[in-house]
């Protein structure tokens, strides 16, 4: 797209040392030879060739400074997180990542910043064997919008709509540490230095559960990735599946650091935390061994946290079987917070 303010494309006659331009940034930081893609960066479109018998899985996530990340985030971590949250959506569908595009708005052509951003992004891309095939670069308030492309065997994508009454409810990893870090940044909680560093890693360097999503194909009846908090995201599964659920608060997996916080903060981080990027999924009752095996294959712990029921609504039960008041733990909503 050409900018309405096209002045940055003009070349003065006597040039002082030029800051990097749009095309310098693309060439230096975002152009690598295509490997799997038929055509990568440099033309008007990239060309991808999903394998026969597969569906193309596509997802977009935008990260806006002050909304999705704090200005304190190191650019290398920001590059990782921008790709990680997108890969998390492919993971939730059981798709294998292929490639991604990057639309980037930058206040200034800050080469050191862009180099670090690209390093974090490409390290995670390399870990998943995927490549950057295109994008758009413009001046503007810092904003990253990535689109990821993956492939999944036709008919095998994990969807939000498949949960059945009687299914067991599972979650991967641990929950709540990203929110705990956010509270520490906000100053509402004080953590020891090592605990803060660990929580901050959870917030800034989430690991998308791609291998787990793929291992759950044909096993999980529904899945979603946790980005806005358990209560809200589980609500999407329940609505799409036309079922209800009961969750045992005590079974929600949490770090030692979170376990040492007061009960209300623990519940808030676990139930409404957001930014967890773990998978929440359902599987038939009796498939526990197969689910545990999928977790081992993927190298991530999986925990059975509750059950799907026929009646509508979500009930969270504490250790004494009492219902937790969920109105105190609302899901994150960008237009309500």
Q: What is the binding site for ligand ADP (CB under 6 A)?
A: 1, 26, 30, 41-44, 102, 104, 132, 134-137
CA 87, CA 94: separation in Å to the nearest integer?
10
Q: Considering beta carbons, is residue 75 or 134 the nearer one to Mg ion?
A: 134
Contacts of 157 (CB under 8 A, 6+ apart): 55, 57, 93, 94, 95
Whole-number Å distance between alpha carbons of 180 and 333: 18
What dihedral angle (degrees, nearest 10) is formed by the CA atoms of 58, 63, 69, 73? Answer: 90
Least distance in angstroms from the C-beta of 333 to ligand ADP? 29
CB of 271 to ligand ADP, least distance (A): 37
CB of 22 to ligand ADP, least distance (A): 7
- Nearest-10 crossing angle of helices 75-92, 111-127: 30
Q: Report the candidate in 116, 130, 126, 25 with the shortest Cα–Cα distance to residue 77.
A: 116
Give the interface segment with Mg ion, choosing from 25-33, 135-143, 286-294, 324-332 (CB under 5 A). 135-143
Between 137 and 221, name the residue whose CB sits nearer to ligand ADP.
Answer: 137
The minimum distance between CB 66 and ligand ADP, in angstroms, equals 21
Q: State in angstroms the smallest separation of the CB of 51 from ligand ADP.
A: 23
The region of 61-69, 130-138, 218-226, 292-300 touching Mg ion under the rule CB under 5 A is: 130-138
Site for Mg ion in 15-54 (CB under 5 A): none
In the DSSP assignment, the letter for residue 15 is P
* Binds Mg ion (CB under 5 A): choice among 126, 136, 250, 333: 136
Q: Which does 137 bind (CB under 5 to 8 A by kind): Mg ion, ligand ADP, none?
A: ligand ADP
Q: Which of these segments, 134-142, 156-164, 240-248, 289-297, binds Mg ion (CB under 5 A)?
A: 134-142
DSSP state of 332: P
Q: State the binding partner of 41 from Mg ion, ligand ADP, none, CB within 5 to 8 A by kind.
A: ligand ADP
DSSP letters, 294-313, are: HHHHHT--EEEEEEEESSSE
Q: At closest approach, how far in Å is the CB of 251 from Mg ion? A: 48
User: What is the rounded distance in angstroms from the CA atom of residue 114 to the CA atom of residue 280?
Assistant: 33
Residue 148 has phi, psi (to 5 degrees) of -110, 145
Q: Which is nearer to Mg ion, 138 or 156 (CB)?
A: 138
Q: How would DSSP label each residue in 174-189?
A: --SHHHHHHHHHHTSS
Stretch that binds Mg ion, among 89-97, 132-140, 183-191, 320-328 (CB under 5 A): 132-140
Give contact residues for Mg ion (rule: CB under 5 A): 136
């Amino acid at each position: 797209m050409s900018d309405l303010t096209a002045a940055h494309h003009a070349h003065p006659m006597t040039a002082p040392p030029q800051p990097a331009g749009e095309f310098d940034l693309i060439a230096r930081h975002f152009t690598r030879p295509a490997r799997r893609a038929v055509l990568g960066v440099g033309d008007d479109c990239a060309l991808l060739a999903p394998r026969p018998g597969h569906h193309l899985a596509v997802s977009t996530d935008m990260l806006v400074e002050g909304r999705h990340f704090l200005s304190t985030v190191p650019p290398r971590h920001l590059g990782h997180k921008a790709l990680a949250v997108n890969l998390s959506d492919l993971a939730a569908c059981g798709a294998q990542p292929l490639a991604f595009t990057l639309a980037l708005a930058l206040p200034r052509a800050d080469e050191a910043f862009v180099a670090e951003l690209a390093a974090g992004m490409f390290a995670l891309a390399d870990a998943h064997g995927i490549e950057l095939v295109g994008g758009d670069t413009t001046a503007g308030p810092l904003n990253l919008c990535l689109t990821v492309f993956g492939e999944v065997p036709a008919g095998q994508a994990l969807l939000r709509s498949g949960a059945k009454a009687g299914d067991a409810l599972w979650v991967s990893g641990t929950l709540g540490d990203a929110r705990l870090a956010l509270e520490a940044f906000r100053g509402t909680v004080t953590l020891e230095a090592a605990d803060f560093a660990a929580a901050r890693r959870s917030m800034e360097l989430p690991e998308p559960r791609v291998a787990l999503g793929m291992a759950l194909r044909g096993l999980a009846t529904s899945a979603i990735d946790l980005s806005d908090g358990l209560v809200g995201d589980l609500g999407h599964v329940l609505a799409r599946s036309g079922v209800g659920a009961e969750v045992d608060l005590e079974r929600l997996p949490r770090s030692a650091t979170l376990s040492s916080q007061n009960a209300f903060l623990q519940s808030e981080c676990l139930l409404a935390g957001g930014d967890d990027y773990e998978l929440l999924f359902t599987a038939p009752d009796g498939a526990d061994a197969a689910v545990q095996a999928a977790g081992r294959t993927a190298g991530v712990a999986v925990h059975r946290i509750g059950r799907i029921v026929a009646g509508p609504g979500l009930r969270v039960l504490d250790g004494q079987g009492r219902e937790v008041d969920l109105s105190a733990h609302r899901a994150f909503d960008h237009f309500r917070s």
